[in-house]
Structure 1
């Protein structure tokens, strides 16, 4: 019986997520309810997905909970800017 309790406790802990929360993208309406804390920029991205991932990583590194991409462009390599929020 004691082993079953230990197994249940270990299983519960193993299923618990210990990951930190990543910065989440928001739209303009959602952003109006948040506090703007700065702007981040990223470049040298080959796809829009990789550009968004770079901007999200930079927002998270700055301690932001959310970000909103305000510009993106480029020909072969993309660059962009995002406003970050707490």
Structure 2
């Protein structure tokens, strides 16, 4: 029984670092370049790189990105 609890604790702790920095940011601007510049500024402030996950244009650009450490 103790072995099972230890194994479960190891699995839980090994997954923790993978999800500890999952942060999503959004930006709204009138142009695609403007929205990406806002995302880049947020990533720089957080000391991270970014990956754009969504962008759409409907009377303005709405962009979502995931920050990557």
Which TM-score bucket, shorter chain as reference? 0.5 to 0.7
**The residue matched to 1:76 in structure 2 has which SS?**
coil
The corresponding residue for 2:51 is 68
Calculate the TM-score normalised by the size of structure 2: 0.62
The question of 1:41 aligning with 2:26 is answered yes
Per the TM alignment, residue 50 of structure 1 is displaced from its structure 2 partner at its CA by 0.8
- State how far apart, in whole Å, the 1-side matches of 2:55 and 2:46 are: 20
Instruction: Give unpaired runs (5+ residues) of structure 2.
Output: 1-17
The question of 1:77 aligning with 2:60 is answered yes
- State how far apart, in whole Å, the 1-side matches of 2:46 and 2:36 are: 15
**The residue matched to 1:40 in structure 2 has which SS?**
strand
Calculate the TM-score normalised by the size of structure 1: 0.51
Which of 20, 38, 43 aligns to 1:54? It is: 38
Q: Which of 1 and 2 has greater Rg?
A: 1
